[in-house]
Structure 1
């Protein structure tokens, strides 16, 4: 595995070359684009330079390459314009380099059903592509994550501790997921990039203890830790300044209109994972934060 990223790039030419190098890795290693394949790059005004690098890298492999620019007005969770959605379902490979995620849109789901291989990179920026988690050796990352299978496949009882004060236990509900390695070479497959995490769904009602979040929360770096007390799988207390009050309010609002039998779902800790990408950095970008090597996350 590559060493942790501590590189800074100030020269524009050097940055462009670094971005193109990482884009080639996306095209050739992650997506394994072949000369006869149709490739679509979807970008927007905030990610245009990233899109250009991906376009140039794909154009080195195939001449069946298009790039579409999303409107600046596109919002999180909205469907892309019909013209973009129509093109997505006609491609072999789709690279979604956009500020807001298209992962859960009907357009993406339809394209996957039609056999497109898709990489979703919401929130990607030039620095992430040039020196961050996108620069990982994804073949090596795939081997390392797969190598964890013998250790994790029978691991049912889990305890997580941290210097910040996390101390929590749970039983796993299903198998550990070892496929978030960035390699996307099967029809209909989708990956998030940057990739590189291992995760599992805790068995309902088994998680208890304390979680101290001292890195990032919902796309923002933290000035002070957030502490969650968990009993029988449910968050029962949140402390940590003004943000804690905001989180409590969000959870309360999410319960409005739900049947009483469903309100516990809002406070359920539904996922645990840890990062394996040694090139990723804690930046406040949700995707990159989750894959930082040595970090863990709860969701």
Structure 2
């Protein structure tokens, strides 16, 4: 049993020399509300994901995939899902080594048996055979959250009105019909041209995953497409972020016939070379030839997203565009190379045929 303080102890506590103890008491009061606020924000965001984004039903099978880096977010999503369905599983897997690495076989098998998969993980599961099989063949709807942090999960792009984001993306999609020729330029030096198949613009990264087979990042908010293979030429200057790094100096990618031929950019260029050389070691000769494929082009549509040095949110920033290098099989391409990394451009101009989509960082439509 705790003992009651004596009057003398109370008097001593009031003396000026006891200020350090008073400070400690003050610190304790300040920390607890912050912890409570974080818990409340986590729960609120998780409830929004399962109710608004996934539109989860009580009878659905749900799998939450997490790893040590994202365990708090995985737990919040598990608890929110369990308030709706009693058919919820959570699996903690080892962190993979890079974006596009396959999850362990037991995890991939579990994914195939779900109506909903929520994947807050350090590295992306979006461009994997496991996700493709679970969604396209088995009908799961899958929200991936590669590199998600507490900050991203509770602020910025996750606070957007996703119904509004969906409406905006639908409007833009209507304007892209029958348009095939894309040119991207920027004051930083980008000047690249390529062709696309108009029917293949992806318009479902809007934050609402209510239909089978849908796959999207959260936070969501982008329009994207696979450039036609072998048809891109020019120069791409990445001056926003590369993967999970805000750039102090640009990364320059030279493109010929749809592949990166050489790169410039001091330290960041060296890091990128090492990143792709490591990926090449796991590939056969034919796959190595496709390693540097320009796999994806897109532009952000989320008005609340911030450029913070995390690709999950960076590529959704309204007014930016991005290119991804590597695996394009999830978009119907032939480059099965097991790595898919994104670079974001600030203030680009994007022309699609005679239609200006972005001009100096402003969404024109």
Q: Does TM, scored on the shorter chain, surpass 0.5?
A: yes
Change (3 A) 1:227 1:155: same
Q: Does residue 195 in structure 1 map to residue 197 in structure 2?
A: no
Change (3 A) 1:86 1:235: closer
Deviation at 1:32, TM superposition (A): 0.8
CA contact (8 A) 2:112 2:140 kept: yes
Q: Does residue 23 in structure 1 map to residue 50 in structure 2?
A: no
Change (3 A) 1:164 1:193: same
Which of 79, 101, 105 is 2:103 aligned to?
A: 79
Which of 69, 72, 97 is 1:46 aligned to?
A: 69
Instruction: Map 1:10-159 to 2 at 5 A.
Output: 11-71=34-94, 75-76=97-98, 77-80=101-104, 82=106, 84-104=107-127, 107-112=130-135, 113-159=137-183
Deviation at 1:249, TM superposition (A): 5.8
Deviation at 1:91, TM superposition (A): 2.8
CA contact (8 A) 2:178 2:198 kept: no
Tell me which residue corresponds to 1:168.
Answer: 192
Which of 240, 245, 254 is 1:229 aligned to?
A: 254
CA contact (8 A) 1:174 1:202 kept: no
Tell me which residue corresponds to 1:272.
Answer: 297
CA distance in 1, matches of 2:258, 2:130: 34
Q: Considering only aligned residues, what root-mean-square deviation do their CA atoms show, in Å?
A: 2.9
Q: Does residue 181 in structure 1 map to residue 191 in structure 2?
A: no
Deviation at 1:237, TM superposition (A): 3.9
Change (3 A) 1:249 1:18: closer
Change (3 A) 1:154 1:100: same
Deviation at 1:273, TM superposition (A): 0.9
CA contact (8 A) 1:170 1:202 kept: yes
Tell me which residue corresponds to 1:4.
Answer: none
User: What is the number of residues matched between the two proteins?
Assistant: 286
Deviation at 1:229, TM superposition (A): 3.0
Deviation at 1:275, TM superposition (A): 0.8
Q: Which runs of 5+ in 2 are unaligned?
A: 1-32, 325-365
CA contact (8 A) 2:204 2:214 kept: no
CA distance in 1, matches of 2:174, 2:262: 36
Deviation at 1:264, TM superposition (A): 5.8
Map Cα deviations across residues 218-248 of structure 1 (whole Å, 9 max, x no partner).
3222221112233444434422113224445
Q: Which runs of 5+ in 1 are unaligned?
A: 1-9
Deviation at 1:104, TM superposition (A): 4.8
SS class of match (1:52): helix
Map Cα deviations across residues 180-210 of structure 1 (whole Å, 9 max, x no partner).
2122222233222222111123334443333
CA contact (8 A) 2:243 2:311 kept: yes
Tell me which residue corresponds to 1:258.
Answer: 285
SS class of match (1:177): coil
Deviation at 1:293, TM superposition (A): 1.5
SS class of match (1:291): coil
CA distance in 2, matches of 1:252, 1:45: 27
Change (3 A) 1:18 1:157: same
Change (3 A) 1:114 1:227: closer
Tell me which residue corresponds to 2:363.
Answer: none
The structure with higher relative contact order (CA 8 Å, sep 6+) is 1
